[in-house]
Copies of this chain bind each other. A is one copy, B any other.
Amino acid sequence: MVGSARKPLRMARPGLVPVGLLHSSLRDRKDAPNFYTEGAPDAILEIYPAFRRALYRIRVGDELIVITWLHRANRSLLRTHPESDMTRPLLGVFLTRSPDRPNPLGLHRCRVKEVTSTGLRIGPIEAIDGTPVVDIKPVVDEADDS
């Protein structure tokens, strides 16, 4: 472990940049289901022109993990009752999927419904309108890991 203590400094300005933006009929956190299995809609994923080449060979039906930046989150919360259900035990936020966490990254497993000139139609996805997207990855069945 010698020497590695300095390495986080290299990340002091990691410069996370939005590669796109979600356009959804879900307008606010209170409207959003807690999880996409709970009746979430499709959404338009607009990819900014500089990043569209990174979609090369994408096809309808592909299964993706869209990584969002949950821009309305409370980043100071470290413990919470899952899904705001006060009858459930308090947990560290790293044991929950709450958007409220130190780095409010969201993982959204969904499918490509349409490939357009400016991005994708995807779904189902529970993120709200205007949510920035920072990465897209394929689901890897080998790992059962999305």
Q: Which residues of A contact B (CB under 8 A)?
A: 1, 4-5, 7-8, 10-11, 14, 16-19, 21, 23, 35-37, 44, 51, 53-58, 62, 64-65, 67, 69, 71, 78-79, 89-97, 101-103, 105, 107, 109, 129-130, 132, 134-138, 140, 142-146
Contacts and interface: CB of A to CB of B under 8 A. Distances in A.
Given A91-B56, A101-B135, A143-B109, A8 B35 contact: no
A142 B54 contact: no
Chief secondary structure at chain A's binding surface? mixed
7 contacts: A4-B23, A11-B16, A16-B16, A53-B92, A56-B78, A57-B89, A107-B145
A4 B91 contact: no
A138 B98 CA distance: 10
Given A79-B53, A92-B56, A130-B4, A103 B23 contact: no
Contacts of A54: 78-79, 92-94, 101-102
Contacts of A62: 95
Contact of A21 (B7, B53, B105): B7
A56 B145 contact: no
A103 to B, nearest CB: 5
